[in-house]
Amino acid sequence: MGMESFQYKSLIQFDWIWIILAAPLAGAVVNGLLALIASRRKTVFAQGLYAAVGCGAAILSFIAAWFTFQHFRTLPDGSVLTQELFNWIEAGPFHTSMNFELDALSMSMVVFITFVSSLIHLYSVGYMKDDPGFGRYFTYLNLFLFSMLVLVMGQNLLVLFWGWEGVGFCSYLLIGFWFEDVVKANAGKKAIIVNRIGDSGFLAGLLLLYALAGTFNFNELQLGKHAFTELSATVICLCFFFGAVGKSAQIPLYVWLPDAMAGPTPVSALIHAATMVTAGVYLVARLNFLFVLAPWASMTVAVIGALTALFAATLAVAQNDIKKVLAYSTISQLGFMFLGAGVSAYGAGLFHLITHGFFKACLFLAAGSIIHVLKGEQDIRKMGGLLKHIPLTSISFFLGWASITGILPFCGGFFSKDEILWRALAIPNPIVPLLPDALYFTALAAAFLTAFYMTRLFVTVFFGEYRGDREIYEHLHDSPKIMTVPMLLLGVGSVASGWLGVPEVIGGGNSLGKFVDPIFHLSALEATNLPHSLEPLLMLMAYLVAGLGVGLAWYIYGLKHKIWPVLLKLIPGGKKAVEKKYYVDEIYDVLVVRVVKGFAHWVSDRLVEQLLLNRILEAVVQGLAAAAQLLRKAQVGLVRFYLAYVVAGAALLIYLILH
């Protein structure tokens, strides 16, 4: 396809898009009303009812998405399915419609989201069994799915922002799902506040963008991108990227995601691993036509991504909570995706987004299954030797582990991670020539650590001796089918998703890359730094590094060598720093919370309320009182004074009239 077909991509009216959205929305409304009625009447409806509505809605949405996808594939490249629902905001020149569209990018996101989400809905039926908030849970989950779909299907930035804020709000509700626990409720609050800090960047981006382009519609923006100079595009992109940093938990706004593990584990799988946190990557990919105008902004994305990938990986090494390890791993993997998007390899970023969605969801569900069978235990120091007791969970976890480390050749994250690494090195940077090398080696180090901490987790949980409560151990058995089947499907999916993008250089089809190429065609830079023939070599290199990580972790944790503590002792304070997560939470508490509150106090006590209001008011009141005193002195009660006033007044009046 040439430039022409891209520039004037054909919008095709498709009137069935709304079903994809309406199904989860209707599910949320029905379940929400049922839950409220139940709480009102102090009765409990059968859980099967909520489960049928919630899962049914998600699955219906997936089916609709799948058929739309099949229809979409028959269309020529560059086609976009759109549906116009209604005019949302119209005020003078301001015009925004509630329009939804599916191009190759959002089509792949929608199929992926509804599929993973349906599986996690099913899994939740088992995981949340007997929870008193069962109905509420499915309401929130459906509502989340709806918001996420709005986010990826919106035809303009305001509709996207609707979904963007919506998923953040659902995440707030689901993190604090067990709200009677203050710690969990506060984790939700932290998530929504940190997200809001990022969203203020998003909002600023909206204002700047609208002032320049006069529209929020992606297609119009793309056609009218000459309205942006390099400077304005850079500023706008950085604003939106700040929003993405908040939503996708990158440096410096990643702090909410580890705390978000307070929510139910399926929620962590769906929202805080597979879908919502990837919204930032989606946003950058969606705005690729702007980022290509702003090399500095793209470079920032790449650098932040690479740094986050490494930084979060070092933190994941020292966590003992199984969910926290996975949370830091998610942050790190999101960093990989941003690295891909930042070097303008949007297709590679999307590829990793999808493979990561599968394997991380699988890993989280397996972790949830472990927590479920161990009756709430999350500390990996109290696990061990679970392999033979919960075989299906072990298999799922193994598939996820193999995909994320890339140790099982030719499956899962193996290809997506390699493609990002390859492009990070091979795409030249126009500003800093040596940057590709720096990015590559940072990412390679992160890949090494990924293999290391995941193997540590795998070995500690499934091998060795069981170290927890004996009583639970006596009754160990695997989770029910409603949980293990979705988990295994995701495990298979995480392996298979890698085949979506087997690079051409080793004879693959790279079908995903070709599918989304019309979207990124103009923005993607060519990998000209290195010849393509080197790609397999780099692949081997990455494989060896991952193997080294796995081997080292096996050596330390599997064979119980005491090398790890010795290594850490070499860096004074290193272990403590890692365990305390580099004191970032504490630093933020001082920097943000105290500074804002201190400033507010200062404004309140010193500046406005005291000085401006009370002092000035006091002065006015005293002035009035003084004036009243003066006037009172005039009212002396003697007739001759009053006569004098009358005369003076009359004189003044006569003067005024005659004048």
CB nearer to another protein: pick between 89 and 548? 89
| Tokens encoding 588 | 């933020």
The identity of residue 572, as a single letter, is P
- Residue 189 Cβ vs another protein, minimum distance, rounded to whole Å: 5
- Residue 284 Cβ vs another protein, minimum distance, rounded to whole Å: 20
C-alpha closest to that of 333 among 317, 318, 362, 355: 355
Interacting residue ranges for another protein, rule: CB under 8 A? 36, 39-40, 86-94, 158, 161-162, 165-166, 169, 172, 176, 179-182, 185-186, 188-189, 192-193, 195-197, 199-200, 203-204, 206-208, 210-211, 596-597, 599-601, 603-604, 608-609, 612-613, 617
- Residue 196 Cβ vs another protein, minimum distance, rounded to whole Å: 4
CB nearer to another protein: pick between 71 and 196? 196
C-alpha closest to that of 536 among 631, 643, 615, 421: 421
CB nearer to another protein: pick between 36 and 544? 36
Please report the DSSP string for 35-95 in residue order. Answer: HHHHHHHT----HHHHHHHHHHHHHHHHHHHHHHHHHHHTSPTT-EEEEEEEEEEEETTEE
Cis peptide bond upstream of 252, omega within 30: yes
CB nearer to another protein: pick between 481 and 601? 601
Q: Are 466 and 383 in contact (CB under 8 A)?
A: yes
CB nearer to another protein: pick between 193 and 505? 193
CB nearer to another protein: pick between 561 and 594? 594
Helix axes 279-286, 157-175, angle to 10 degrees: 170
- Residue 33 Cβ vs another protein, minimum distance, rounded to whole Å: 11
Per DSSP, what are the bridge partners of residue 94? Answer: 91
- Residue 283 Cβ vs another protein, minimum distance, rounded to whole Å: 15
- Residue 192 Cβ vs another protein, minimum distance, rounded to whole Å: 6
On the CB side of 156, CA atoms within 13 Å amount to 23
Please report the DSSP string for 156-221 in residue order. Answer: BHHHHHHHHHHHHHHHHHHHTSSTTSHHHHHHHHHHHHHHHHHHHHHHHHHHHHHHHHS--BHHHH
Dist. CA 356–CA 494, nearest whole Å: 8
CB nearer to another protein: pick between 157 and 367? 157
Helix axes 511-520, 346-373, angle to 10 degrees: 130
- Residue 29 Cβ vs another protein, minimum distance, rounded to whole Å: 11
Question: Helix or strand or coil: residue 560?
Answer: coil
- Residue 162 Cβ vs another protein, minimum distance, rounded to whole Å: 4
CB nearer to another protein: pick between 24 and 188? 188
